[in-house]
Amino acid sequence: MIPVRGYEGRRVGVLGLGRSGLAAAHALEEGGAEVLCWDDGAEAREAAARQALTVVDLSKQGALEDLAALIVSPGIPHLYPAPNRVIAAAWDAGVPVDNDIGLFFQSFATEDWARFDVEPRVVAVTGSNGKSTTSALIAHVLEHAQRPVQLAGNIGRGVLDIDPAEDGGVVVLELSSYQTDLARALTPDVAVFTNLSADHLDRHGGMGGYFAAKRRLFAEGGPDRAVVGVDEAEGRYLANQLTHGPSDDRVIRVSSGVKLAGPGWNVFARKGFLAETRKGRQVGAIDLRPVKGLPGAHNHQNACAAYAVCRSLGLAPKVIEQAFSSFAGLPHRSQLVAERDGVAYVNDSKATNAESAAQALQAFKNIRWIAGGLGKEGGIASLAPHLGAVKKAYLIGHSAREFALQLGDTPHEVCETMGQAVARAAEEAEAGDTVLLAPAAASFDQYPDFEKRGEAFMAEVEGV
């Protein structure tokens, strides 16, 4: 646990008692604060009380008096589409609002670091797609290189639940826009921007607000090194904002599909080959095609970002290449779950929007595509250019019929349930086909989260 510093003997409110909220409450108490907790859900309040935390209704008149800060869980809206009533009351009372990410950056470094031979480092990864794979891949490479590493944030453990820093240790944080948007301290040593596509727009008041939330990771603390995906205009803008000139190697530009040139530090992948260039010369290369855990151009972009981070931390290209070859991928993200009679079954349940599904559809051939769920604005209309490899679509969930109307001439069948979709796809599949779950939709119509949806797919595949 990371004891939170700066609130000794002071009262601090914690709003939202999920994983991050509970960890924040305990870390604040460990640092000497008096913590008052609240959640609108009775079950969450009862769980906090069982952990000996003080539960107080922070929405009541006068509950925020004398609070030094209000710590808010990431799922609670603080501005759009409307601020939570407790947060609005904190504004009116002049109580600073923060989150666990801000507390982490405020508290992680301690006086003990003076005795370390190698100062600990923090790598923070944000972006629309690929955050989890990139973060996990960085951690995997560092473990392979026998560097002390902890994976936390939106993946792995809560940021305040990790162990205190050790000599030469690296903390890899996956951070969502919900987390970067509110944190009052954001000071990673290395910051990563993977890419940007439309998501969470209601929470951020539109695309501009969404990008602004991501950009805070780079603007607030000024990382020593920035790894920036430049395949979208926002990434190119961000890289330009951070650089002091063409040869400024504090910014490492990353691309999948575009050969990057110039005197700066570049890492790009084309046709399955990763290349690193500095001062206009190639200094490293990896053939990504044999790496089963990183299929498709979108994973090659993740590989480029992870490679750039690990190079900035001093690892040699050969060490990174060896680690890549043993990376198995993450559950629910282009995860190969079975191969039967020449048919591959791939679980990409994390593809909860059209952009993510497009990446999966470009990673495989001869696809029997299982899609659907609780569709997002626009449905799958934007996927029309990416359906060339789809032999047939099997549609499930709330948006099945809406998706069917958007598929045009692509063969499809409304199956409604996962069981029926897997059974029909398996029945019609031929050797060389890939049965791909890439829903392009949220899971909440049939499942509590994308993980449960992916587990349901794997269970049905097991029975084929």
pLDDT at 364: 93
Give me the number of domains the chain comprises: 3
pLDDT surpassing 90 at residue 84: yes
Residue ranges making up the domain that contains 233: 104-325
Of 160, 212, 226, nearest to 182 by C-alpha is: 212
Instruction: Please report whether residue 243 resides in a domain.
Output: yes
- Torsion, CA 200, CA 243, CA 288, CA 451, rounded to 10: -20
The answer on 352 and 319 residing in a single domain is no
Query: Confidence class of residue 464 from pLDDT cuts 50, 70 and 90?
Result: confident
Same domain membership, residue 341 and residue 321: no
Written in H, E and C, the secondary structure of the chain is: CCCCCCCCCCEEEEECCCHHHHHHHHHHHHCCCEEEEECCCHHHHHHHHHCCCCECCCCCCCCCCCEEEEEECCCCCCCCCCCCHHHHHHHHHCCCEECHHHHHHHHCCCHHHHHCCCCCEEEEEECCCCHHHHHHHHHHHHHHCCCCEEEEECCCECHHHCCCCCCCCEEEEECCHHHHHHCCCCCCCEEEECCCCCCCHHHHCCHHHHHHHHHHHHHCCCCCEEEEECCCHHHHHHHHHHCCCCCCCCEEEEEECCCCCCCCEEEEEECCEEEEEECCEEEEEEECCCCCCCCHHHHHHHHHHHHHHHHHCCCCHHHHHHHHHCCCCCCCCCEEEEEECCEEEEECCCCCCHHHHHHHHCCCCCEEEEEECEECCCCCHHHHHHCCCEEEEEEECCCHHHHHHCCCCCCEEEEECHHHHHHHHHHHCCCCCEEEECCCEECCCCCCCHHHHHHHHHHHHHCC
CATH number at residue 251: 3.40.1190.10
Examine residue 210 and state whether it is found in any structural domain, yes or no. Answer: yes
Single-letter amino acid, residue 375: G
Q: 94 and 112 share a domain?
A: no
Question: 201 or 321: which carries more pLDDT confidence?
Answer: 321
Q: Under a CB-based contact definition with an 8 Å cutoff, are residues 276 and 284 in contact?
A: yes
Residue 433: inside a domain, yes or no? yes
Task: Report pLDDT digits (tens) over 24-46.
Answer: 999 999 999 999 999 999 999 99
Minimal CA–CA distance to 365: which of 320, 423, 418, 430? 430
Q: Say yes or no: 31 and 126 in one domain.
A: no
Model confidence at 190: pLDDT above 90: yes
Residue 83's CATH number: 3.40.50.720
**Which amino acid does the sequence have at 453?**
R
- Please report the pLDDT score of residue 377 as a whole number: 86
Residue 330: inside a domain: no
- Cβ pair 419, 297 in contact under 8 A: no
- Indicate whether 181 and 242 sit together in one domain: yes
What average pLDDT does the chain have? Answer: 95
Q: Are residues 24 and 147 in the same domain?
A: no
pLDDT (tens digit, 9 = 90+) per residue, 389-446? 999 999 999 999 999 999 999 999 999 899 999 999 999 999 999 999 999 999 999 9
- Domain edge (last residue) among 325, 344, 377: 325
Mark which of 73, 98, 123 sits at the end of a domain. 98
pLDDT digits (tens, 9 = 90+) for 288-313: 999 988 988 889 999 999 999 999 99
The binding site consists of 127-133
Q: In this structure, are 65 and 171 located in the same domain?
A: no
pLDDT of 329 higher than 90: no
For residues 294 and 223, state if they share a domain. Answer: yes
pLDDT tens sequence across 112-139:
999 999 999 999 999 998 899 999 999 9
Last residue of a domain, one of 52, 77, 98: 98
Residue 415 maps to a domain:
yes
Q: Is the dihedral of CA 369, 370, 372, 377 positive or negative?
A: negative
Are 167 and 309 in a shared domain? Answer: yes
Residue 406's domain is classified under what CATH number? 3.90.190.20
Asked whether residue 297 is assigned to any structural domain, the reply reads yes
Q: Is the pLDDT of residue 274 over 80?
A: yes
Q: Are 13 and 70 spatial neighbours (Cβ–Cβ below 8 Å)?
A: yes
- Percent of the chain predicted with pLDDT > 90: 89
Residues 365 and 401 in one domain: yes
Q: Which residues are annotated as a binding site for ATP?
A: 127-133
216 domain-assigned: yes
Query: Are 370 and 258 part of one and the same domain?
Result: no
* Structural domain includes residue 4: no
pTM equals: 0.86
- Do 164 and 287 lie in one domain? The reply is yes
